Structure 1
Amino acid sequence: MNLRCFVSNTKEITDSISPSDRSSNLCPRVLGIQWHSVADNFKLDVNMDTTGFISKRTIAQQIASIYDPLGWFIPLMIKAKHFQQLLWKEHYEWDETLCETHKQQWISIVNELSGFEKSVSRCITRSTVSNTLVTYCDASSLAMTVCTYLTSEEDFNFLMGKSKLTDIRRLTTIPKMEMNAVTIGARLTLNVSLSLKSSISISKVIILTDSEVALKWLKCSQQRQTTGLYIKNRVREVHKVFRLLEDMDVEVFFGYIDTRWNPADVGTRVH
C-alpha cells in the first residue's frame, strides 16, 4: 500500500514530502474535526436545516449531527437540548408532527445556531515545566456543566467541557445538583490528568464551584456527615479522586468562585 496525502503544520516537513505524496486539501478532518494545517487551528461550525418534516426524531438527528467530543458547543447547544427535553415532556411520538408553536420555536433555535463559526488553536500550552488544571463547576434547574482549563505562566486555554441536563422524571434541589456538578468536574479532571500525564507536566489541580453548600459538604469529615446517601456517595467519590491525583504527585485544591466569574455558568442557562 502506497501511503500518501500527507499534510503537516510544519513547513520544513511539508517541503520534505514529495509533491505527489502531499495532500491537496490543507483543511482535512482529524477525528471528525476540521483542522487548518497552515494556521494550525481547529475550525468549529454549526449548520442545521429546518426544511422538510420536523418531528422529535428529526430534531434528535439534527442535535446528534453536531460532533462535539470536547464540549466546545455546550453553551451553544443547551437551548436545543432543552427543547428536545420539552418534546419528551409533551409526550410526542417519534414521527409525530410538532404543533405550530413548537415548530416555530425549533426554527427560531436553529436560525440562532446555524452559521456559527469559530477557530480554536490546536496548541494548548508552550510550557514544559509546570502547568495547572482548573476546573469550574456549576448547576441550575436546567443543567449541570463543568469545564477544564490548562494554565501556565504563558497560557490559559480551554481543554474540555461536560454537560448533563437535569432529570425531568424527578425533582432535585439545586444544592444536590451543584454537588453532582462538582462530582462530574472531579471525574473530568482525573480523566484529563491521566490523558496528559505522559506528555504535559501537571503540578496542580484546582476545582472551583459557586456553591457554598457543596463546599461545606466537601470540607465536612465523612464521620460527621448528616446528609443523605446521595450526597455521601458523591462526597466519597470526589475525595477518592483527590487521593488518586495526590498519588500522581499533584497538589489538589478546591474552593469558591463568584457566579459572575464562573465560565461554567454559561452552560447552565438558556440565553
Structure 2
Amino acid sequence: MYRQIRLHDDDTTFHRILWRDDPSEEIREYGMKRLTFGTNYAPCGAIQTVRDLAETNEPTYPEAAKIIKKDIYVDDIISGSHDLPSALRLQKEIIEIFKSGCFDVKKWASNTNELLEVVPPEDREVSIPLSLNPDKTVKTLGIYWNSKSDALNFKFKYDTDGPLTKRFVLSNIARLFDPMGLLAPITVKAKLFMKRIWASQCDWDELISSVIADDWKKFVAQFTLFPSFEIPRWIQTTPDACLQLHGFSDASTDAYGAAIYIRCVSEDGVISTRLLIAKSKVTPRVLQTIPRLELRAASLLALLMAYVLRSLRHHHFDPTSIHFWTDSKVG
C-alpha cells in the first residue's frame, strides 16, 4: 500500500536513507520518493491518501466513497449490502475508485460466490466454490470469519512452554484479542487473574503462587473449545425490519460491564436477537461501594451505546427503540 503513494517533491528531503553496498564504499544519501514502512508518518499519510481518493470520487460514486471512508481500517475494507445486485455494484465502484489512484484491490472474500466470480483468481482470498472445511477461515481485523457458514470464530494459541510467571501469564492474556467483547465472560476472567497476580506483588519473572497457578491451568484448559465456538455474523437485519437496541449494565465487587443486543422483527413477524457488542472491566484495587460501581457500569453502557449508534449509520433508530436496563435499585 505504501509503495503506491508518492511523496511530494518538497517532502523527499525529510525521508532520507544512507546506503552503501560494501563497507569500503563511500556512504551515499538517497531521498525516498514513496511512503516508507516504519516511519511515523506512513500510516497517517496512507489513510489520508485513501480518504482524499474517496472524496475526489464521491460525486461519481457516493455510496462506495462512503464505504471507503467509514468501513476501512488502514488497508482492510469490511462492508456489505442487503442484496446481491447492490453488493455487485458497490464492489465494482470500489474497484474503480481505487483504480483511479493506481491501487489494486486484492484478497477478496465473500459469503457469496457471485461476488468472487467477477474477481480474477489471483485477487481472491478464498476459493470458488466456497469450501465447507471449517478450518478455511479469513482473518478480518484479528477475528476469523468462515465465509461458507458466515460465522465468526476465535483461535487462541496458548503458550505452554515456560514458567508460570507474571510476565508469562500476561503474555498469554494479551493473545485473547476480542475487540467486540463477544468473549467478555472469558476475557474478564483473564483480567481478574492478572489482578490477583498484581495484588500478590510478585516480580515479573517470579513464579506465581501455587493456588493461582492451579486456577490458571483450569482456566486455560477451556481454550480447547475455541475452534468449535462460532457466532453468526449476520444479525438478521433487513431494510424493512423493525429494530430495537437493548443495553444492559451490571457490577459486582470484582468487575463491571455492559452489553448491547439488537432485536429484529422481520416483515413476517420473525423475531431474532443477537449480541452486538460487550465491554467488561475489573474493579479498581481501591475499594469502592456497589453504588459507585453500578454508576461506572451505567456510564460504560452509555458510551458503548453511543459507539453502536455511530457504527450502525445505515439504520435509523427511533429514540423509543433504544432501551437501557440495569438491576440496580440504589437511589
Aligned to 2:114: 12
Name stretches of at least 5 consecutive residues in structure 2 with no aligned partner: 1-102, 128-135, 266-270
Identity %: 30
The answer to whether the 8 A contact 1:45-1:115 is kept is: no
Name stretches of at least 5 consecutive residues in structure 1 with no aligned partner: 217-271
Q: 1:202 to 1:110 in 2, by over 3 A?
A: same
Q: 1:85 to 1:3 in 2, by over 3 A?
A: same
Per-residue deviation, residues 143-196 of structure 1 (Å, max 9, x unmatched):
00110011121321110001110111x111112211211111111111111221
The answer to whether the 8 A contact 2:156-2:175 is kept is: no
The answer to whether the 8 A contact 1:146-1:162 is kept is: yes
Distance 1:101 1:157 in 2: 37
Aligned to 2:316: 201
1:3 shift after superposition: 4.3
Q: Return the letter of the residue paired with 1:39.
A: S
1:21 shift after superposition: 3.2
Does 2:297 match 1:181?
yes
1:2 shift after superposition: 5.1
Q: Secondary structure at the match of 1:8?
A: coil
The answer to whether the 8 A contact 2:256-2:294 is kept is: yes
The answer to whether the 8 A contact 2:162-2:168 is kept is: no
Aligned length: 212
Does 2:124 match 1:22?
yes
Aligned to 1:231: none
Q: Return the letter of the residue paired with 1:113.
A: F
1:20 shift after superposition: 3.7
Aligned to 1:128: 239
Q: Return the letter of the residue paired with 2:251.
A: A
Higher relative contact order (CA 8 A, sep 6+): 1
Aligned to 2:16: none
Question: Pairwise CA RMSD of aligned residues?
Answer: 1.9
Q: Secondary structure at the match of 2:179?
A: coil
Distance 1:96 1:207 in 2: 44
Provide the TM-score with structure 2 as the length reference.
0.60
Task: Answer with 1 or 2: which has the greater Rg.
Answer: 2
Distance 1:174 1:191 in 2: 26
1:36 shift after superposition: 0.9
Provide the TM-score with structure 1 as the length reference.
0.72
Q: Return the letter of the residue paired with 2:149.
A: A
The answer to whether the 8 A contact 1:43-1:119 is kept is: yes
Aligned to 1:236: none
